[in-house]
């Protein structure tokens, strides 16, 4: 068969370039129009977007290896938020409310481990038995798992809002060009960036990370290489939920309150971000998340909060019309 060459206007780099160019134009005009609002929304958008990105990674990685949308992923993220709340509460109960900051790292680690275990259990019980049952049955199973987790949290913690302790990260603020940057935002951005950079390096520069990409392409050929495909799937159900759990605590810290339907609200956005970036594509989920956060923040800043979802989804639809595989999703050039 003929080799499938894609012309320049269908190449990923072309769209990356266009996106960058548009972003630059937007930044410059936006800044001229109203500098402070613009900067402020950029910072807010990046922060929220980094939450979306962390959650989106779980959707996209599971989709990569199983071609399955893990609808319960948002609820794993939400469980992470509640677990963080519980552990912080326990520390406060132990009279350590002054030192919460120093316990954040261990709390993150413990919660990530617990939610990762939950993710693995979810895969074993809800998805693995249905591996050969077509594509619809696992979707129903995923929805069931989602409802189960949501109700479990509601029964344990109640249906009302719960508040994260406010004093965890010191309230330090800086004024930059009329915008306000908080230590909280910096902490969130740095944490998200470190987690994503670590994942990127793992996926691209290690043997097992490369095996994850191989499994996403072809299970049988991966087995021929000696890759334990079920092991890789388990690993993906460790990494995705762990990152989601970190996102959960971060959302709790940042917004200060959590509720049991948090998983649906953020799950939908993060799923959207994953599609935007190209589902199955790991850098795509990162880009999609940040982009969605920024779009939402600008919609809020320049139009109104009420319109942000409408505008965000309008842009999503536009992008998908012109690039159905998402921004970084590439149709693989296949040959016979």
Partner 1 sequence: MALLEIENLHTYYGHVHALKGISLTVNEGEIVTLIGANGAGKTTTLRTISGLLRPREGRIVFQGEELNNVPAHEIVYRGISQAPEGRAVFTTLTTNENLSMGAYSLGGDKEAIEENRRRVFKLFPRLEERKNQIAGTLSGGEQQMLAIGRALMARPKLLMLDEPSLGLAPMLVKAIFQTIREINEQGVTILLVEQNARAALKLADKGYVLETGNIVLEGTAEELMGDERVRKAYLGER
Residues that bind partner 1 (CB under 8 A): 1, 3, 207, 210-211, 213-214, 217-218, 220-229, 330, 332-336
Tokens 């693989």: give the residue.
332
CA distance 324 to 320: 4
Give me the least distance between CB of 93 and partner 1, in Å please. Answer: 45
For partner 1, the closer of residues 24 and 217 by Cβ is: 217
Please say whether the beta carbons of 23 and 315 come within 8 A: no
Q: Which two tokens stand for residue 189?
A: 């951005």
Tokens 């993906």: give the residue.
236
Give me the least distance between CB of 336 and partner 1, in Å please. Answer: 6
For partner 1, the closer of residues 171 and 220 by Cβ is: 220
For partner 1, the closer of residues 136 and 224 by Cβ is: 224
Give me the least distance between CB of 335 and partner 1, in Å please. Answer: 5
For partner 1, the closer of residues 216 and 274 by Cβ is: 216
For the stretch 270-283, what's the b/e string if a residue is b when 16 or more beta carbons lie within 10 angstroms of its beta carbon? bbbbbbbbbbbbbb
Q: Which two tokens stand for residue 71?
A: 């609808």
Give me the least distance between CB of 124 and partner 1, in Å please. Answer: 17
For partner 1, the closer of residues 18 and 217 by Cβ is: 217
For partner 1, the closer of residues 4 and 304 by Cβ is: 4
Give me the least distance between CB of 135 and partner 1, in Å please. Answer: 19
Rg (CA), the chain: 20
Give me the least distance between CB of 92 and partner 1, in Å please. Answer: 44
Q: Enumerate residues 6+ apart whose C-beta is below 8 A from 63.
A: 69, 70, 274, 279, 280
Q: What are phi and psi of 57, to 5 degrees?
A: -60, -35
């Amino acid at each position: 068969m003929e080799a499938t060459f894609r012309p320049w206007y269908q190449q990923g780099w072309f769209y990356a370039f266009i996106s960058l160019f548009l972003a630059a134009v937007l930044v410059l005009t936006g800044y001229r129009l109203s500098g402070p609002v613009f900067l402020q929304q950029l910072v807010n958008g990046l922060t929220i977007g980094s939450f979306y990105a962390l959650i989106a990674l779980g959707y996209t990685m599971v989709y990569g290896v199983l071609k399955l949308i893990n609808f319960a992923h948002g609820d794993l993220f939400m469980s992470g938020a509640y677990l963080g709340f519980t552990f912080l509460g326990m520390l406060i109960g132990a009279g350590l409310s002054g030192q919460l900051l120093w316990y954040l790292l261990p709390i993150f680690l413990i919660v990530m481990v617990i939610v990762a275990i939950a993710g693995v259990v979810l895969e074993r019980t809800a998805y693995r038995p249905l591996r050969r049952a077509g594509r619809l049955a696992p979707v129903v199973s995923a929805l069931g798992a989602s409802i189960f987790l949501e109700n479990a949290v509601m029964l344990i913690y109640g249906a009302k809002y719960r508040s994260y302790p406010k004093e965890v990260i010191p309230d330090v603020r800086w004024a930059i060009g009329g915008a306000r940057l908080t230590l909280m935002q910096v902490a969130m951005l740095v944490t998200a960036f470190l987690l994503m950079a670590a994942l990127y390096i793992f996926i691209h520069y290690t043997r097992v990370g490369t095996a994850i990409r191989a499994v996403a392409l072809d299970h049988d050929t991966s087995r021929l290489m000696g890759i334990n495909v079920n092991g890789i799937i388990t690993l993906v159900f460790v990494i995705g939920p762990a990152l989601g759990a970190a996102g959960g605590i971060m959302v709790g810290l940042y917004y200060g309150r959590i509720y049991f339907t948090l998983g649906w609200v953020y799950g939908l956005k993060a799923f959207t971000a994953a599609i935007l970036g190209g589902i199955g594509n790991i850098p795509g989920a990162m880009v999609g998340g940040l982009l969605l956060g920024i779009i939402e923040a600008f919609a809020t800043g320049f139009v109104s909060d009420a319109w942000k979802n409408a505008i965000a989804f309008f842009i999503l639809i536009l992008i998908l019309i012109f690039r159905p595989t998402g921004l970084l999703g590439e149709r693989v050039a296949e040959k016979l």
